A and B are shown apart, each in its own frame.
Chain A
Amino acid sequence: MSGEQETVDLEGLVSKALEGINYSISREKGYVEVSVPLESLREAALRLKNAGFDHVKSLTIVDYIKKGEFKAMYIVSSYLSEELSGGLIALSTTVKRDKAKLPSLSDVWISLLFQEREVYEMFGIEFEGHPDLRLLLLAPHIAELKPLRKEFIVKEEPIIRKPK
Chain B
Amino acid sequence: MKDPEAREEPSSGAKIGLPGFKVRKIEEEVYEVFIGPQHPGSGHMRLITRIDGDVIVDIDPDIGYVHRTMEKLAEGREYIKNIPLFERMAIHDACNVTVPYVRAVEKLLGVDPPPRAKYLRSLLCEINRIAAHLYGFGIMGIFIGHSTMYMWSFGDREVFIDLAERLTGARQTHSYPVFGGVKRDMPQGFPEMARKAVRYMRKRLPEYEKIFFENPVVRDRLEGVGVIPRQVAAELGLVGPTARGSSIKYDARLAEGYDAYPELDFEIPVYTEGDSLARTYVKIEEIKQSLNIIEQCVSWLETREREAPMHPKFWEKSPPLWKKVYQETGRIKLLPIFASLKVPPGRAVARGETARGEIIYYVESDGSTKPYRVRIVSPSFRNLPVFKYIVPGHRVMDLPAIYGSIDYFPPEADR
Contact = CB atoms under 8 A, between A and B. Distances in A.
B250 A75 contact: no
Contact of B348 (A30, A73, A147): A30
Interface string B231-268: 10111110000010000111000111111001000000
A58 B250 contact: no
Interface stretch (B71-79, B88-96, B138-146, B212-220): B71-79
B67 A137 contact: yes
Contact of B360 (A75, A147, A153): A75
A7 B104 CA distance: 21
Contact of A5 (B118, B257, B358): B257
A63 B106 CA distance: 23
Most buried by B among A109, A110, A139: A110
A31 B236 contact: no
Given A2-B259, A5-B256, A111 B237 contact: yes
Interface of B: 1-2, 63-64, 67, 69, 71-73, 75-76, 103-104, 106-108, 112, 118, 230-231, 233-237, 243, 248-250, 254-259, 262, 346-351, 358, 360, 362, 364, 372-373, 375, 377, 381-382, 384-385, 388, 414
Given A2-B258, A154-B72, A154-B73, A90 B235 contact: no
Interface in A114-145: 114-115, 122, 134-139
B385 A114 contact: yes
A90 to B, nearest CB: 7
A52 B67 CA distance: 33
Residue from A1, A62, A73, A139 with most neighbouring chain B CB atoms (10 Å): A1
A73 B262 contact: no
A160 to B, nearest CB: 16
Nearest to B362: A60
Give the interface centre of A79, A88, A109, A147 by most chain B CB atoms within 10 Å.
A79
B377 to A, nearest CB: 4
A47 interface: no
14 contacts: A54-B234, A55-B234, A55-B236, A58-B377, A60-B373, A60-B375, A85-B255, A110-B385, A111-B237, A113-B385, A134-B2, A135-B1, A148-B71, A154-B73
B262 A2 contact: yes
Interface of A: 1-5, 28-31, 54-58, 60-63, 73, 75, 79-80, 82, 85-86, 88, 90, 109-111, 113-115, 122, 134-139, 147-148, 152-154, 156
B373 A147 contact: no
A115 B107 CA distance: 26
A4 B256 contact: yes
B373 A30 contact: no
Contact of B362 (A5, A58, A109, A152): A58
A154 to B, nearest CB: 5
Contacts of B348: 28-30
The listed residue with most A CB atoms (<10 A of its CB), out of B112, B230, B250, is: B250
